[in-house]
């Protein structure tokens, strides 16, 4: 069952989402060669708690940290630890914030210093795939219009969509119905309606679409160890179109990360 939110509930979700965007900006400002992913996690946990909110991920099914930090070929769910960022890395960072009973969920893949042209194209493609998916999140469209837009944007650039991982509804719980595949024929699945709140999250690789789970039982990497990217927004479907909730008026993550300015 898809739980639709009232306008006041969407305003509350926008507050959670704003803290997600600000958390990602904290990460973006701190990223540099030599910094560990555990240090980034500590910064974000402190930032979230200092705003009277909770890091949604911490303790979720036993997950031990406040962010997921997934370097290079790790697609998602990398556990922060002693890994030291190096010049040329890419780092996908996923953050969940619970505030006033509602969850915001967002992710961004950051370059560390200078990255290869292929890595840059992977990041820009994943960002564009997210934007294309969000653009389809409109009253009257069907769910897989989002999926199809993500897939075509990704595959036009000759990258691969990871098929075993999906986006999701989000609200009082981090994971609500529906699941949102990042591939598929358009025009299928539930009709999109006002008040639906969705976490749209393309996860793409520069090589194989297949993935494996590490021994830590969380980290998921590309099967061929090709580079992977992950961008995610929580959005609300309004009568006037998609509204991105994981954003803040004064924050431009792309500018912080040195990606193409949107």
47 forms part of the interface with ligand MF3 (CB under 6 A): no
Please, what is the minimum distance in Å from the beta carbon of residue 42 to ligand MF3? 16
105 forms part of the interface with Co ion (CB under 5 A): yes
Half-sphere exposure of 94 (CA within 13 A, CB side): 29
Binder to ligand MF3 among 12, 22, 77, 233 (CB under 6 A)?
77
Residue 160 contacts residue 122 (beta carbons within 8 Å)? no
For Co ion, give the closer residue by CB, 9 or 105: 105
Dist. CA 120–CA 142, nearest whole Å: 31
Q: Which of 204, 194, 197, 174 is nearest to 241 (CA)?
A: 194
Dist. CA 120–CA 127, nearest whole Å: 11
Q: How big is the site for ligand MF3, counted in residues (CB under 6 A)?
A: 11
Binder to Co ion among 79, 130, 161, 199 (CB under 5 A)?
199
Give the three-class secondary structure for 83. coil
Stretch touching ligand MF3 by CB under 6 A, among 18-26, 33-41, 57-65, 207-215 = 57-65
Tell me the backbone φ, ψ of residue 9, rounded to 5 degrees: -65, -40
* Chain Cα centroid distance, residue 80: 16
Q: Which of 107, 213, 122, 191 is nearest to 161 (CA)?
A: 122
105 forms part of the interface with ligand MF3 (CB under 6 A): yes
Please, what is the minimum distance in Å from the beta carbon of residue 217 to ligand MF3? 11
Q: Token pair for residue 69? A: 């930090």
For ligand MF3, give the closer residue by CB, 68 or 115: 68
What residues between 193 and 212 interact with ligand MF3 by CB under 6 A?
199
Residue 53 contacts residue 12 (beta carbons within 8 Å)? no
Please, what is the minimum distance in Å from the beta carbon of residue 68 to Co ion? 10
What residues between 109 and 168 interact with ligand MF3 by CB under 6 A?
168
Give the interface with ligand MF3 as residue ranges (CB under 6 A). 57, 60-61, 63, 68, 77, 94, 96, 105, 168, 199
Give the interface with Co ion as residue ranges (CB under 5 A). 105, 199
């Amino acid at each position: 069952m898809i739980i639709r939110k009232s306008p006041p509930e969407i305003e509350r979700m926008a507050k959670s989402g704003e803290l997600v965007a600000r958390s990602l900006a904290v990460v973006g400002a701190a990223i540099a060669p030599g910094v560990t992913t555990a240090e980034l996690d500590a910064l974000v946990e402190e930032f979230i708690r200092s705003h009277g909110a909770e890091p949604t991920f911490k303790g979720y099914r036993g997950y031990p940290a406040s962010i997921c930090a997934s370097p290079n070929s790790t697609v998602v769910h990398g556990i922060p630890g002693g890994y030291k960022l190096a010049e040329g890395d890419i780092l996908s960072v996923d953050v969940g914030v619970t505030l006033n009973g509602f969850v915001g969920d967002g992710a961004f893949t950051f370059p560390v210093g200078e990255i290869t042209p292929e890595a840059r194209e992977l990041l820009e493609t994943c960002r564009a795939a997210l934007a294309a998916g969000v653009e389809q999140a409109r009253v009257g469209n069907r769910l897989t219009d989002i999926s199809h837009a993500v897939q075509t944007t990704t595959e036009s650039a000759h990258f691969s969509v990871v098929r075993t991982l999906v986006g999701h509804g989000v609200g009082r719980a981090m994971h609500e119905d529906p699941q949102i595949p990042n591939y598929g024929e358009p025009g299928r699945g539930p009709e999109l309606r006002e008040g639906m709140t969705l976490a749209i999250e393309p996860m793409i690789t520069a090589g194989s679409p297949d993935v494996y789970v590490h021994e830590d039982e969380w980290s998921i990497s590309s099967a061929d160890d090709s580079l992977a990217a992950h961008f995610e927004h929580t959005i609300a479907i309004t009568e006037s179109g998609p509204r991105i909730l994981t954003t803040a008026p004064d924050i431009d993550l792309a500018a912080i990360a040195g990606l193409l300015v949107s």
